[in-house]
Amino acid sequence: MVQAKTLGQFIIEKQADFKYAKGELSRLLRDIGIAAKIVNREVNKAGLMDILGNAAQTNIQGERQQKLDVYANEQFLAALTSGGECCMVVSEENEEFIPITSAVSKNAKYIVAIDPLDGSSNIDVNVAVGTIFSIYRRVSVNGAANLADVLQAGNAQVAAGYVIYGSSTMLVYTTGKGVNGFTLDPSIGEFCLSHPDMRTPESGVIYSINEGNYINFPDGVKKYIKYCQVDDGQSQRPYTSRYIGSMVADIHRNLIKGGIFIYPKTATSPQGKLRMVYECNPMAFILEQAGGRATDGATRILDLAITDIHQRSPIFIGSKKMVEKAEQFMIDTAVSSVC
């Protein structure tokens, strides 16, 4: 019987792929993995604990926080604060960036941006939720990290990943040398390599979008949805509509099976709704490394300038050919409206 390779073993073996501070980045990824195990434990027993439902507060996004949002945020902050490899954390749940100024961390070389519990409103109904994280190398030289350290375009990421807490718990990450997935083995409490060198199909038959907002979508998105629904055997249409309401879960499925996830701008959210720093950028990095594509409908997500830690953007992400087709509808519609 071949022994499964653990996340820790894999990270150590792949240290040569890291461009900077190999040991520090390895430890940082392990810290995130440990916090994910703690959050997974609470997610799995949520129905038995007083941890379901709303917390008595809202986050900076104006969204009602779930109790597990607060718990997950606390666990990841604790792990990243105590590890010594991270000098700043940006979280969906905190209005400002969090500098880590302890003696062991203030000169650390890495910034972590995190959505501690994506899709947390689904937790009450036992639907998959997740964690998304992004890692940058700080650009400031001396003293405490500052805002410029995190306002970097997505193409500056040194690592990104997500954890999906579902029928099994998986951690998927990239350091710019491909994408690898690890499944948590509860019998030994370790993430073990289960999906090496993940590649997403160039095309697929799944489209993921909240069609309840159809009336507020741009015309290009409406036309693409109609295209997906047309009967055409050669292109395997009509496509299947699948939307979970958890970005991690929808993109994880499409990464494996092939598909497109769209969260466009709308009349009520003209800048889009998903956050660039800790949602769009890390997912775009992962999908590109797996052979996919991610844009805002016109421009590559990873090339977009960042001006605010909670900046929002539309996103079209998934199988390369499907994203390109959706982009073409956006471009053609924009051109026709001008003419």
Pairing of strands 190-195, 110-118: unpaired
Sorting pLDDT into bands at 50, 70 and 90, what band is 63? low
Extents of the domains making up the chain: 7-195, 206-338
Cα(291)–Cα(286) distance, integer angstroms: 9
Pairing of strands 260-263, 206-208: parallel
> Residue 257, Cβ neighbours under 10 Å: how many?
16
Which amino acid is present at 45? K
Answer for the pair 155, 169: CB distance below 8 angstroms, yes or no. Answer: no
For residue 186, cis peptide bond before it (omega within 30 degrees of 0)? no
The region of weakest confidence among 8-12, 30-34, 185-189, 295-299 is: 8-12
Answer for the pair 253, 259: CB distance below 8 angstroms, yes or no. Answer: yes
Which amino acid is present at 287? L
pLDDT at 46: 67
Q: What pLDDT, in 10s, does the model give residues 178-206?
A: 999 999 999 999 999 999 999 999 999 99
Q: What is the pTM of this model?
A: 0.93
Mean pLDDT of 283-292: 98
pLDDT at 168: 94
Answer for the pair 20, 146: CB distance below 8 angstroms, yes or no. Answer: no
Mean pLDDT of 129-155: 92
CATH 3.30.540.10 fits 7-195, yes or no: yes
**Which fold is adopted by the domain 206-338?**
D-Maltodextrin-Binding Protein; domain 2 (3.40.190)
Q: 61-86: buried (b, 16+ CB within 10 Å) or exposed (e) per residue?
A: eeeebbbbbbbbbebbbebbbebbbb
Q: Give residue for tokens 């956006």.
A: 330
| Residues in contact with 176: Cβ distance below 8 Å, sequence separation at least 6, in sequence order | 17, 19, 157, 158, 159, 285, 289
pLDDT at 141: 81
The region of weakest confidence among 5-19, 90-104, 167-181, 234-248 is: 5-19
Which of left, alpha, beta for 70 (phi over 0: left; psi -120 to 50: alpha)?
alpha
Q: Cα-Cα-Cα-Cα dihedral of 127, 176, 316, 98, to 10°?
A: 70
Q: Give residue for tokens 């302890």.
A: 102
pLDDT at 52: 47
Mean pLDDT of 110-139: 92
Helices (H), the chain: 7-13, 22-44, 67-83, 147-150, 219-229, 247-257, 281-289, 320-338
Which amino acid is present at 208? S
Query: C-alpha distances in angstroms, 39 versus 46, 71, 77, 159, 295?
Result: 10, 8, 12, 21, 31
Sorting pLDDT into bands at 50, 70 and 90, what band is 314? very high
Q: What pLDDT, in 10s, does the model give residues 76-89?
A: 999 999 888 999 99
